[in-house]
Amino acid sequence: MNIRLATDDDWSAIWPIFRDIARLGETYAYPRDIEQEQAKKLWLVMPRQTYVVECEGEVVASYYIKTNQAGPGSHVCNCGYMVSESARGKGLATLMCQHSQDIALELGYQAMQFNFVASSNTGAVKLWQKLGFNTVGQLPKAFNHPNLGYVDALVMYKWLL
């Protein structure tokens, strides 16, 4: 496995992963019918950095890192992680989260915050907890899951220093 900075050329490999996850509507608060250019802007252009995970030369996962808030909140970053369906269950989310924490420190961040974790995404919630994130906020019925209806969204936070 190789984690490296993403380039514009990687978008053609990231897009199918992003599109499939967004269409499911189960984990991210993106429009389920998001257009490719809007997705590219959100995932590849606007973040401070975006990374891809390659396995045998194929992009199988990606994450971004960005400043969560401006000014007095600029020491806290936010990340988003996506793994292709074919690569799930291989520890890539763990690998990316650990990598992103190292990158966050290199970029001068002191904390990481996940703003809107669907409580129904139990695998992610358990993983973030295992990696030292605490649930610091709960937004009742803030995420409209396509099958479960309204579920809570969690704010999860980790001080990195």
Calculate the CA 119 to chain-centre distance: 15
| Domains in the chain, CATH or no CATH each | 2-113 (3.40.630.30)
Q: Where are the alpha helices (DSSP H) in 54-121?
A: 92-106
The one-digit pLDDT tens for each residue of the chain (161 residues) are: 999 999 999 999 999 999 999 999 999 999 999 999 999 999 999 999 999 999 999 999 999 999 999 999 999 999 999 999 999 999 999 999 999 999 999 999 999 999 999 999 999 999 999 999 999 999 999 999 999 999 999 999 999 99
Helices (H), 25-114: 36-40, 92-106
Residues 6+ apart with CB under 8 A from 37: none
